[in-house]
Amino acid sequence: MAARDIMPFVSPQGGTLEVRYGSMTASETFEVGEPVNIVNAGTITEPPDDVTQWIIGDGDNPDGTGWGIACYGPGASNIDPKTGVAFATGAEIAYWPGNQGTLFITDNFFAAGGGSAVVPLQTDVGESYQITYGTFGTPDAGWGVEQTAGVAGVDYQAIVTDVLDSQKAPIRLSGNAGVYVVFELVGATGEAN
């Protein structure tokens, strides 16, 4: 697990970042930039940190609503920004919801199967990929985009909109090697959640 694996991306053209809230379940350790689900009890939980993709079944909501990327989290002795002390069960957690047209960015781009990192290419733009936790490396690679086709109704999907170089310039313009993947998060129905 690493903080800031997946973060909102605001392009030079602007963008809005909607934030939603839920309460923390007991014993959660996720960080800012990690996927979260709202379960039927209305609490937030993180999907499993394993080499499998983030699936709609990781939450309790069959329509895929109530999920996104954590704005902050209770991991690694973090302090609750609302109280100034350690997070406790029931603490309010903010998240950036999926299915809102918000663009996200990551430099964690994995080969099919999630077992190794690969360089993103211009041909990845427009593809629907899975969101996966990469367990390779020390520490683990963390959450990122995996080059395996996302399955509607099963996976939360990353729809790749751009590939950027180390300076965050589009590789289609710079001609440099890809480092970052910019994508939109899409759930089961593609409807607002």
Rounded CA separation 128/146 (Å): 10
**pLDDT means over runs of 10, the chain (193 residues):** 77 69 85 88 84 83 75 84 88 89 94 93 97 89 94 93 96 96 82 42
Q: Give the containing element (helix H, strand E) for 44.
A: strand 43-45
In terms of Cβ atoms closer than 10 Å to its own Cβ (0-12, 13-18, 19+), residue 80 is middle
Checking DSSP bridges between strand 180-186 and strand 103-106, what pairing results, if any? antiparallel
Chain segment 123-149, per-residue pLDDT in tens? 999 999 999 999 888 888 899 999 999
> For residue 138, what pLDDT is reported?
83
> For residue 121, what pLDDT is reported?
98
pTM (global) more than 0.95: no
Instruction: Please identify which residue in the block is written with the tokens 């683990």.
Output: 140
Q: What are the CA-CA distances from residue 189 to residues 17, 126, 154, 183 (Å)? A: 21, 18, 10, 17
> For residue 58, what pLDDT is reported?
79
